[in-house]
A = this chain, B = another copy of it.
Amino acid sequence: MSALDVYWLPAELAATPPGNRVVVVVDVLRATTSISTALSQDAARVVPAPTVERARQIARGIEGALLCGERQGLPPEGFDLGNSPRAFVRKVVSGRPLVFTTTNGTAVMHALEGVEELVLACFRNGEAVARLLEPDLVDGGRGALIVCAGRRGRVSMDDAWCAGHLVGKLATRLEGLALRDGARAARALAARLGAPTAHGLGRTAGGRSLGEIELQDDLSVCAALDDLTVVPTWRDGAFVKGGEEDP
């Protein structure tokens, strides 16, 4: 049986690089929730950008691109959309390429673009991600690594909760699955916290920040469990729809 690990912070990547493991990035509030939502609403693809300036530059080169993301939680000047999953509705995003920059999530996605297989997870697509990982976690599999985006270099409760939720799901199904310390700690945390709720997410540092800018209605969307089958998957410089082969 291969091993499953959770990095509570991107900084752990420097200590133990991913190697050939499948890598799953989690940024529940809100980048991976928003990107999963956008692709489920048929956005053509999502190009992550590390900075606002780079996002503007990339968007200028892509016909029909929508410029999306946030700084301090809000869309920078001239952006078409922020980072609220509620904004990524079909009539706005269907068929459109999105260029996306956020404070925490897209930076780690960028740092990982060289890995063999890179996907995005949130509570909404947790079941779909778990199914996708299963073959890599049986004997002879590549193993998998869940990387929490964190919050400005600090541990983020919501990301660790979601990572632990995924670990719990997989460990229950795959008897004998080897869990590293980070994965075991995340699993224990998620077991303690239970199923995600808007109230629970609202008590995290990220959730409180959303309240301060009156975006607390995003929380119930981010807390929705397994209502999406899309797994954003890295292909040729963008995240595209993956994970729906078994609808």
Show the binding face of A for B, using Cβ within 8 Å. 6-9, 11-12, 14-16, 151-157, 160, 180-182, 184-185, 188-189, 191-193, 203-206
Excluding A9-B12, A157-B181, A192-B192, 16 further A-B contacts by CB distance (< 8 Å) are A7-B155, A9-B9, A11-B12, A11-B153, A12-B154, A15-B152, A15-B154, A16-B153, A16-B154, A151-B181, A180-B205, A181-B205, A184-B203, A188-B188, A188-B193, A189-B189
- Does A155 contact B12, Cβ atoms closer than 8 Å? yes
Once bound together, how far apart are the Cα atoms of A160 and B12, in whole Å? 15
- Among B9, B152, B191, B205, contact of A8 (Cβ-Cβ < 8 Å): B9
| Among A11, A151, A193: residue with most chain B CB under 10 A | A11
Q: Which 4 A-B pairs have the closest CB atoms?
A: A15-B153, A11-B11, A157-B181, A192-B192
Using known A-B contacts A189-B188, A191-B192, determine if residue A182 contacts B154 with beta carbons closer than 8 Å: yes
Find out whether the CB atom of B181 lies under 8 angstroms from the CB atom of A189.
Answer: no
Q: Which residues of B contact A188 (CB under 8 A)?
A: 188-189, 192-193
Collect the chain B residues with CB atoms within 8 Å of residue A151's CB: 181
Across the two chains, which residue of chain B brings its CB closest to A187?
B192
A155 vs B6: C-alpha distance when bound (angstroms): 9
CB of B189 within 8 A of CB of A204, answer: no
- Given contacts A189-B188, A191-B192, are A155 and B8 in contact (CB under 8 A)? yes
